[in-house]
Amino acid sequence: MRVATWNVNSIVPRLPRVLDWLEHTAPDVLCLQELKNTTEAFPVEPVRALGYEVAAYGLGRWNGVAIVSKVGLEDVVRGLPGEPQFDGESQARAVGATCGGVRVWSVYVPNGREPENPHYAYKLEWLSALHGLVGTELSTERPFAVLGDFNVAPDDADVWDIEAFAGSTHVTEPERAALAALREAGLSDVFPRPLKYDHPFTYWDYRAGNFPNNRGMRIDLVYANSIFTGAVRDAYVDREARKGKGPSDHAPIVVDLSF
């Protein structure tokens, strides 16, 4: 089985690239983030024409997540149990489904903006809700993974220059502690398994020179239980998908499993 995750930074303008990538990479399951549209507006038909079922969850604006699968979509859940709101509103940041016997969640963790911003506190509360979900999912003996844009770099080596991030989100101790709590609960980071690059960054700001000079971050992650990680045969960041005209600012992660 091939499982992948990709923050597409708006599904509508990125759709031709996504469809081409699905055809050539042929994942069995693809988790998507930052759709920037509603559930109803997700372009289901072009994706379905390639043989995929779709479970989308979007409320418009700047979030939205989806799972597309060639191996079935069962027990779909939209939103985290007990997740917090921001400014009194829910945001579409998580969708879960069972695909070919593998339980996956596509997540788009809040950015946090700045440590003093209310959105940062919301981010930590949201990660706490994710921790609660993980505890529930781990009670079932089946392959399980949380994939997506975590908006946290787990380690200093996961950013191009840690000094450039002084005082910024994505690298603060509370954010990293939230990731550590997920690992302590029973999940493992599928990386570090870099097969092509010493530091497999997944995000590069659009500003000129950041991508070709590899000034990036590793904030898109695959956290999985031991059944899932024990079946990993290959895992890589597809940098090619970040190239060319009109790309997302994120690259996909691809994980090949032995089942």
pTM, full prediction: 0.96
Instruction: Pick the catalytic residue from 52, 108, 203, 223.
Output: 108
CB count within 10 Å of CB 70 equals 19
Active-site annotation holds for 108 = yes
The DSSP bridge pattern shows strands 29-33 and 2-7 to be: parallel
CATH architecture of the domain formed by 2-257:
4-Layer Sandwich (3.60)
Cα distances from 90 to residues 13, 64, 82, in angstroms, run 25, 11, 11
Stated length of the chain: 259
Instruction: Pick the catalytic residue from 28, 52, 122, 149.
Output: 149
Per-residue pLDDT of the chain (259 residues; tens, 9 = 90+): 999 999 999 999 999 999 999 999 999 999 999 999 999 999 999 999 999 999 999 998 789 999 999 999 999 999 999 999 999 999 999 999 999 999 999 999 999 999 999 999 999 999 999 999 999 999 999 999 999 999 999 999 899 999 999 899 999 999 999 999 999 999 999 985 444 456 689 999 998 899 999 999 999 999 999 999 999 999 999 999 999 999 999 999 999 999 9
Question: Using the 8-state DSSP alphabet, how is residue 78 labeled?
Answer: E
Handedness of CA 225, 124, 62, 205 (dihedral sign): negative
Active-site annotation holds for 20 = no
Binding site listing: 7, 34, 149, 151, 249-250
Handedness of CA 184, 158, 106, 68 (dihedral sign): negative
